[in-house]
Chains A and B, each alone.
Chain A
Amino acid sequence: MRNIFFILFVLVFSACRKENIALGTSVYETFFVQHKGASTPIHVSGNTASKVMLIFIPGGPGGPGLVYKTKDMEKIEEKYAVAYINQRECGTSQGKSTEPNTMDLMTEDLEIMIETLKFRYGKDLSVFILGHSFGGMAVSAYVTKGNNQNTIKGWIDADGISDYAAIGNLTRDMYLKYGQQEIALGKKVAEWTPIVEWCKAHPNALTLEEIQYINQQTDGEELMDEYINPVDYGAQSTYFSSLSKKFDFPLVPYAINIFTTGALGSSLSKDIETRAYHQKLKNVTIPSLFLVGKYDFLCPPTLHQDAFDNTASKEKRIVIFPKSGHQTYLNEPELFVKEVSDFMTKYK
C-alpha cells in the first residue's frame, strides 16, 4: 500500500518538475501561462539562442498555434525562435475563463505572455508578433493599447482582420469587381451572376447579418482558384498529423474549441463585431508589415491598404501576394517566409 501511494505521489506531482531552461538552436518546449481561469499553452520551437522570437498568434478564433508550424516555418526556426501560442478558449487551452472572453481580455493575456517570454528567455529577447486572420485583430489590439508597442521590435498583420465592420462592404466590392471581370471573360458565369446581382442589390453599408450571409453563401477563392496557388492540404495534414503524434497534441479540445469559441452568439464573436482599430493605428510608430493575398475575400487587400495608410510608422511595408487567398503562408509559403524573415532580420 505504501508503494502505491509513493508511485501516486511521483506521478501526480511529476507535473511540477523544476525545469532547466537552456537556450539552443533546435529547441522544442511547451509551457503554460495562467490568467483569469485560463491555462494557455505556448510551444516554442527553433533557435532560442538567437534571442530573437516571433510570436505567432493563430486565427479562428479557436485555432491552435501549432497548426501554423509548417515545414516552411522551420526555415524561420533555423534562424530564430517561434512561439506558437494558444489564446484562451482556443486551440488546446484548458480551464474556464473567469470573465467573458473579449479582445481586451485576450490583449491582457498577450501582454502577460510577452512578459513571460522575456522572463524565461531573458529581458534582451527581441520580440516580434504576427497575427493571422483573427490573430491580425489580436496584434492590432495589442500594438494600439497604451505603450505596448514599446515592448516589441515590430508587428506583422498576415491576412488579418483589423476592422470587422469594414470587411463586409470591402468584401462585397471585391466580389463585384472580380465577378464582373470573370463574367466579361466568360468564366463561371452561372456561379458569378447571382453573386454580382446580390452585390448590386446591396450597395449600401452591409449589416452584420448581410456580412455573415455573403461569407457563408460564397467562396470567392474557390471561384478564383485558377489564379491562386493550390494548397496541398493532404501533405499539410500529414505533416500536422506527424507533429500531433510527436508532440502528443490533444485533438479533442482543439476540435471543440474551433467550433465553439468563435461561434455565432459567443461572447468573443459578439465583441469582435464591434472592433475597429484602423484609426488607432495612427499612434503606431514601430516597424509594421502587412501581408495579404490578392484574392483574400475574407480580409480584402483594400482593408490592409487602409490599415497600412493609417499606420504612422515610417518603417512600414505592405506586400500583396499575387497568387494567394486568405492563407498566404500556405498559398505562397516561400514568399511568406522570406518577407517575415527579412523583416525580423532588419529590425531585430
Chain B
Amino acid sequence: MMQKIIFLSLFLSLTQGVLAQTTRNTVAKQMDKTPNLKLAYLSSIKYPGFQLGVEFPMFAKEKTITKASGWSKTKLKERFLTANMSFYHHPDFHNNLILSAEWLMRKTRKSGWFVEFSPGIGYSRTFLNGTTYIKDDDGSIKTKALAGNHYFAASVGGGFGYDFMSKSKQPIKAYFSGKMFVFAPFNTVVLPRPALTFGVISNLSIFKNKNNN
C-alpha cells in the first residue's frame, strides 16, 4: 500500500512538471454564417454521378496548443449541418437520387489542409433503368413510368481537402471524400453502396460581394 502511494505521488509530480510546459487554449470562433455551396463528382463503385450540397455553419472553435519551446499548433474545428442531393447512374440497375442531411465535423489546420467526418440520414428514390411492366387492376399488362423504389438512406463518410483561403485568400476549398450509403429495407436486409466524391466548396458570400459591387 505504501509503495503504491509513493509511486502515485512520484508519477503526479513528474506529469505536473510536463503539463506545466504545455498550454492548451480553446476559443469560440466567430463564424461567417453564410452557407457554403458544394459541388462534387460522385462515383458509386464505378458508376458516375454528382453531389450538390449546402453547408450551414453551426459553430466553430479554434484550439491552440503551445509548448514551452515555442512550438504551437492551431486547429479550427467547425460544425455544419449540410443538406445534400446525391445521384448516380447504374445502367440496367437503377438511377438513384438521394436527399440527405449530414452533421459535418471539419478540422482545419493553419496550413489550410483539413479533414472531415460526416454521418447522415436521408431518403433514396430509385428509378429503374429499363422499361417496367405491371399488372394493372383490370388485369392487363401496362408499362409504368418513373418506376422505382423508395428507401431510407443512412450514410457515413470522411475525407480531406484544402482551403485556398489560408494562402491565396480564395474563398474556395477542394475536397476528396469516401462515403458508405446504406439503403433499407432492400429485399430482406439492406443495400450498402460505397461512393467517392471529389469536389469544391465555395462560400456563398462571393455572390453577396458581387451583388454589393
Please report A residues at the B interface, Cβ cutoff 8 Å.
4, 8, 11-16, 19, 29-35, 39, 41, 88-89, 92-97, 101, 112, 115-116, 119-120, 247-250, 252-253, 256-257, 260-261, 266
A sample of 15 more A-B contacts (CB under 8 A), given A41-B92, A96-B185, A249-B92, is A11-B87, A11-B95, A12-B95, A15-B95, A15-B127, A15-B128, A16-B127, A34-B134, A39-B149, A115-B141, A119-B141, A257-B187, A260-B189, A261-B187, A261-B188
Shortest C-beta distance, A73 to chain B (Å), equals 19
Chain B residues in 8 Å Cβ range of A4: 52
Contacting A at CB under 8 A, from B129-152, are 129-135, 141, 144-149
> What 1/0 flags go to B189-206 for Cβ under 8 Å of A?
111110000000000000
Tell me the dominant secondary structure on chain B's binding face.
strand
Which residues of B are interface residues toward A (Cβ below 8 A)?
47, 52, 87, 89-95, 97, 126-135, 141, 144-149, 185-193
Let me know if B192 and A252 touch, CB within 8 A.
yes
B87/A8 in contact, CB under 8 A: yes
User: Could you name 13 residue pairs across A and B whose Cβ atoms are closer than 8 Å?
Assistant: A15-B147, A30-B130, A33-B133, A41-B92, A89-B187, A89-B188, A94-B149, A95-B186, A97-B187, A115-B135, A248-B47, A252-B191, A256-B191
Q: Look across to chain A and name the residue whose beta carbon is closest to the beta carbon of B194.
A: A252
A34 contacts B193, C-beta separation under 8 Å: no
Q: How far is the CA of A257 from the CA of B190 in the complex (A)?
A: 10
Q: Is the CB of B131 within 8 A of A95?
A: no
Q: Which residues of B contact A94 (CB under 8 A)?
A: 93-94, 126, 128, 149, 186-187
Contacting pair A33 B93 (CB below 8 A): no
Secondary structure class of chain A's binding surface, majority of residues: mixed
Q: A residues within 8 A CB of B92?
A: 30, 41, 247-249
Q: How far is the CA of A261 from the CA of B127 in the complex (A)?
A: 23
With A32-B147, A94-B149, A119-B141 in contact, is A248–B90 under 8 Å at CB?
A: yes
Instruction: Give the residue among B89, B127, B187, B190 with the most A Cβ atoms within 10 A.
Output: B187
CA distance A32 to B146 in the complex (A): 12
B188 & A266 in contact (Cβ 8 Å cutoff): yes
The 6 closest A-B CB pairs, nearest first, are A15-B127, A119-B141, A32-B132, A95-B149, A116-B133, A89-B187
Given the complex of chains A and B, what is the CA–CA distance between A116 and B149 in angstroms?
A: 20
A residues in contact with B94, CB < 8 Å: 15, 94
A256 vs B188: C-alpha distance when bound (angstroms): 9
> What residue of chain A has the Cβ atom nearest to residue B146's Cβ?
A16
State A256–B190 Cα separation when bound (angstroms): 8
